[in-house]
């Protein structure tokens, strides 16, 4: 892995992938949060992406994976040249990430509302295996939280004391249903909640590094038009 790779290089890698302009905002709005996770927070090994002691990351917002692919390539999970085949017939890099095709992908996602329930299950399984210190991070979008399955998980995680679980909400203000204050809404369910600018990498790193002893949510706020 080239430790000199930085976010500007990752943005250049993202620009190499074309053909999914419909979901461009989903990739650009999540890029900084995903980069911070893989650059500063998650304990993962690109040379051994299935190591049993790894942290887990689930991109629930799987319908816009180009930014995710760019970060995985920059970190050495697969060759950067593979990005040029994005969405082509023979490429493993499809419009939704496939855990059977892409090294480093933990869950095949894209149908909204599935990632957080999966994350709850993964956190429970790791605790049962004596690996409760391994982090499970799920990234979703603000509109995705219109799905009821997420709120069942948001209610359940604190009741199960899943302190290893982190929910990252990339709020690009695309929800057609006003969600109100994330601090109040998620806090009422027993979550620790922090808000950071969606492109403010130092603030995101500080919020994501926190281990408050209960499920925590980091709201990555991306103002409309700044995707």
| Residue-by-residue DSSP string for 39-91 | III----TTSTT-TT--EEEES-TT--HHHHHHHHHTTSS-GGGGGGTTSTT-
pLDDT score at 6: 83
What are the distances in angstroms from CA 109 to CA 100, 131, 141? 12, 24, 13
DSSP E strand boundaries for the chain: 56-59, 136-141, 165-171, 192-197, 216-221
Domains contained in the chain, CATH given:
7-221 (3.40.50.970)
Per the structure block, which two tokens stand in for 198? 């969606």
Burial class (CB in 10 A: 0-12, 13-18, 19+), 156: middle
Q: What is the edge-to-edge ordering of all strands in the sheet holding 56-59?
A: 56-59, 136-141, 165-171, 216-221, 192-197
**How far, in Å, CA of 159 to CA of 130, rounded?**
19
28 pLDDT band (50/70/90 cuts)?
confident
- 82 pLDDT higher than 80: yes
Q: What is the share, in percent, of the chain residues with pLDDT greater than 70?
A: 96
Is residue 134 within 8 A of residue 106, CB to CB? The reply is: no
- 122 pLDDT higher than 90: yes
Q: What is the tens place of the pLDDT at every residue in 163-179?
A: 999 999 999 888 878 88
Per the structure block, which two tokens stand in for 92? 């493993």
Nearest to 99 by CA among 56, 162, 129, 137: 56
What is the average pLDDT value for the chain, to the nearest integer? Answer: 92
Q: What is the residue whose two structure tokens read 């995710």?
A: 68
Q: What is the tens place of the pLDDT at every residue in 199-221?
A: 999 999 999 999 999 999 999 99
Is residue 71 within 8 A of residue 34, CB to CB? The reply is: yes
Q: What is the tens place of the pLDDT at every residue in 140-159?
A: 999 999 999 999 999 999 99
Is residue 56 within 8 A of residue 135, CB to CB? The reply is: yes
């Amino acid at each position: 892995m080239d430790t000199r790779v930085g976010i500007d290089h990752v943005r250049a890698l993202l620009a190499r992938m074309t053909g999914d302009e419909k979901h461009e905002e989903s990739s650009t709005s999540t890029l900084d949060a995903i980069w911070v996770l893989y650059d500063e927070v998650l304990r993962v090994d690109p040379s051994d992406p299935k190591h049993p002691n790894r942290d887990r990351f689930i991109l629930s917002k799987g319908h816009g994976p180009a930014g995710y692919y760019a970060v995985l390539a920059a970190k050495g999970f697969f060759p950067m040249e593979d990005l040029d085949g994005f969405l082509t017939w023979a490429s493993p890099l499809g419009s939704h990430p496939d855990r059977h095709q892409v090294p480093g992908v933990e869950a095949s996602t894209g149908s909204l509302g599935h990632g957080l329930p999966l994350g709850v299950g993964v956190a429970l399984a790791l605790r049962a295996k004596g690996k409760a210190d391994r982090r499970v991070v799920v990234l979703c979008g603000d509109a995705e939280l219109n799905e009821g399955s997420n709120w069942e998980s948001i209610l359940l995680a604190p009741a199960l004391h899943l302190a290893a679980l982190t929910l990252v909400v990339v709020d690009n203000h695309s929800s057609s249903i006003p969600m109100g204050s994330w601090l109040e809404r998620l806090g009422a369910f027993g979550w620790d909640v922090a808000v950071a600018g969606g492109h403010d990498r130092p603030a995101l790193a500080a919020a994501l590094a926190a281990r408050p002893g209960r499920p925590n949510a980091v709201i990555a706020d991306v103002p409309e038009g700044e995707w």
